[in-house]
Chain A
Amino acid sequence: MSGDLSPVDDPVAGPFFAGILEGRFTAQRCNSCEALRWPPLSGCPDCHSRSTTWVEVAPTGTIWSFVVYHRAFQASLKEEIPYTVAMVELDDGPYVVGRLVPGDKPPAVGDRVVAELGEFGGVPSVRWRTA
């Protein structure tokens, strides 16, 4: 995947992608109120501080929900269907969405997952594997 679906040029989210390439799964933490946030934002929506540190978060969580795509809505996804996307509630709090790698049995809401870091389809990101 690339082109229209690639977010790596986003200046706000850039440090996340750089972190992935260094093997670190990171999220923003507000330097003022210490709230962890995902997706990245240029300022804290709680206290409005713009001072942020990218901190490592535990790469573990539970499946909040998931969907299985049987239709490719972009040409670049055609070879990948059927594919599964999961919304994961991290143990550290934020919700992070990503591709779910199929395990031995069908996924279920509440399944424990672990993040695998890497470049997937040309985009540095996480994908989820059932623990």
Chain B
Amino acid sequence: MASSRNPIAGQAAIVGIGHTVQGELPGRSVEENAVDAALLALADAGLSVDDLDGLIGCKSVQGQGNDVTVGQLLGRNLPYVQSLDYGTCNFSLHLAVMAIVSGLASTILLTYGANARTAKFDFGKPMYGADMASAAGLVHISGRAGLALQRHKALYGTTDEQFGMLAVGQRQWAQKNPNAIFRTPMTMADYLAEPYMVEPLRRSDVTMISDGGVAVVVTTAERARNLPQQPVYVSGIAEHAGVRGEHNPENLMRPWLKDSAKAIWSTTGLTPADMDAVYIQDPTAVWSLQMLEYYGFCGLGEGGPFLAEGHTLPGGDLPLNTHGGQLSESYTWGWMHMVEAVRQLRGQAGERQLADPKVALYASSHGFLKAAASVLSTEESVAA
């Protein structure tokens, strides 16, 4: 039900999900991967491309795969098309909801394609241009994420074994997921025996790079009721930017995540305890540690002991990234997190299916600049 506090609640729903094989797809462009996924998502929704009146393209890390290049292959002149930057899956969902609530469009396709693996994208190259940090060798996401983790360890006494519960736990979930790329069992001893890549981070603490396309169809609650799949409603959305960037004190800790967290709970009237599962976009495990704390699943600085207690593992009371996330399932920058949340809420997650989940948090960030969160639910109206 819409209210002044949460005017988007239950007005839009995810009705279709689709993705290609995640892995190596040589010779296929970002757009081809996006469109392959799009056709699967439309089929899942029981819709065709002619039912669409909106398209949102989320750019790849190379800046490809936007609304006009994907739109050209889809071949329809639509009323509403938009592009968002790399790493903005959650923001793309928000944009779709806003377009639906405002009446700009009613049935919107969201796409993302990646071919960074076989295209051999250089992740060691400074993304925002050369600066003194890159000249000092502070390159690749693991450098800045490692600085944040080292600080966390020094402030709160977080240990490698506690932090390693993220990588080990994601692998446990991935073993139950036939789509996952890394399914070889990994014990804590295996994890701790792995050498540091950028100390204090090991290889398993950082995303893999894979190719693949992912797409989602979002429509009105009204239309969703007449489509074949159980609708997954968007019950709340929140964002907060940290665009002062390095001019924020301690920006590597991404303190503005707590503003997005505060907004999602106050907007929905829900609390962390109401969540049956949580999905955190995790290019590094440090992001999961930070967001578990900022979103209030444990206290600030208490992420280490919280993880060690096993809450986020299969069988735990806070299932985290039940597909294996970017550490073990695939790369696609949070898109497969959204697909998995939908699968779980529909009851279609196979061996890893949770017991009747009703509501999930999807939290993400765009590097060191922006935060976003969504609450997804099987119910049009989620009671606090």
- Contacts of B137 on A, CB cut-off 8 Å? 1, 5, 69, 77, 80, 83, 85, 99
Nearest-neighbor residue (CB-CB) of B135 within chain A: A123
B135–A110 CB distance below 8 A? no
B199 contacts which chain A residues (CB < 8 A)? 67-70
Our pick among A6, A98, A108 for the contact of B154 (Cβ within 8 Å) is A108
Partner among A10, A65, A69 whose Cβ is within 8 Å of the Cβ of B130: A10
Contact of B140 with A by CB under 8 A: yes
Q: Evaluate contact between B130 and A39: CB separation under 8 angstroms.
A: no
Closest B residue to A70 by CB, please name it: B196
Q: Does B78 contact A (CB under 8 A)?
A: no
In the complex, the chain B residue whose C-beta lies closest to that of A7 is B130
Residues from chain A with Cβ under 8 Å of B155 in the complex:
109
- Contacts A67-B147, A110-B154 given; does A95 touch B246 at CB 8 Å: yes
Q: How far is the CB of B195 from chain A (nearest CB, A)?
A: 6
Interface range on chain B: under 10, 10 to 19, 20 to 34, or 35 or more? 35 or more
Q: Which residues in window 23-77 of B have CB below 8 A to A?
A: none
Could you tell me which residues of chain B, from 138 to 157, have a CB within 8 Å of some CB in chain A? 138-140, 142-143, 146-148, 150-151, 154-155
CB distance from A13 to the nearest CB of B (A): 7
A6 touching B123, Cβ below 8 Å: no
Question: Is B252 part of the contact surface with A, judged by Cβ < 8 Å?
Answer: yes
Indicate which residue in A5, A65, A110 contacts B148 across the interface (CB closer than 8 Å). Answer: A65
Docked Cα-Cα span, A85 to B200, in Å, equals 12
Q: Please report the C-alpha to C-alpha distance between residue A33 and residue B201 in the assembled complex, in whole angstroms.
A: 40
Chain B min CB distance to A2 (Å): 9
Q: How far is the CA of A41 from the CA of B245 in the complex (A)?
A: 11
Extra contacts, 16 of them, besides A65-B147, A73-B124 (Cβ < 8 A), are A7-B135, A10-B131, A13-B132, A38-B246, A67-B138, A67-B142, A68-B199, A69-B199, A74-B124, A77-B139, A87-B252, A99-B137, A108-B154, A109-B154, A110-B154, A125-B132
Interface presence of A104 (CB below 8 A): no
Q: CB of A64 within 8 A of chain B?
A: yes
Chain B interface main SS type: mixed
**With A4-B130, A7-B134, A97-B132 in contact, is A74–B139 under 8 Å at CB?**
yes
- Tell me the complex Cα distance, A77–B198, Å: 13
Where the two chains meet, the residues of B that have a C-beta atom closer than 8 Å to any C-beta of A are 123-126, 129-140, 142-143, 146-148, 150-151, 154-155, 195-201, 244, 246-247, 250, 252
Closest A residue to B148 by CB, please name it.
A65
Cα A123 to Cα B196 with chains together (Å): 28
Nearest residue, chain B, Cβ from A74: B124
Interface members, chain A 48-102 (any B CB < 8 Å): 64-71, 73-74, 77, 80, 83, 85, 87, 95-99
Minimum C-beta distance from A6 to chain B (A): 6
Q: Nearest-CB distance from A88 to chain B (Å)?
A: 11
Q: How far is the CB of B249 from chain A (nearest CB, A)?
A: 8
Instruction: Name B125's closest neighbour in chain A (CB-CB).
Output: A4
Quick one: closest B residue to A16, CB to CB?
B132
Cβ contact within 8 Å between B135 and A66: no
Residues of B within 8 A of A39 (CB): 131-132, 246
Q: For A6, what are the chain B residues with a Cβ–Cβ distance below 8 Å?
A: 130, 135
B136: which of A16, A38, A85 is its contact (CB, 8 Å)?
A85
Q: How far is the CA of A1 from the CA of B138 in the complex (A)?
A: 12
Q: Are A65 and B154 in contact (CB under 8 A)?
A: yes
A14 at the interface (CB under 8 A from B): no
Q: Does A37 contact B (CB under 8 A)?
A: yes
**Within the complex, what minimum Cβ distance (angstroms) separates B132 from chain A?**
5
| Chain B residue, CB-CB nearest to A96 | B132
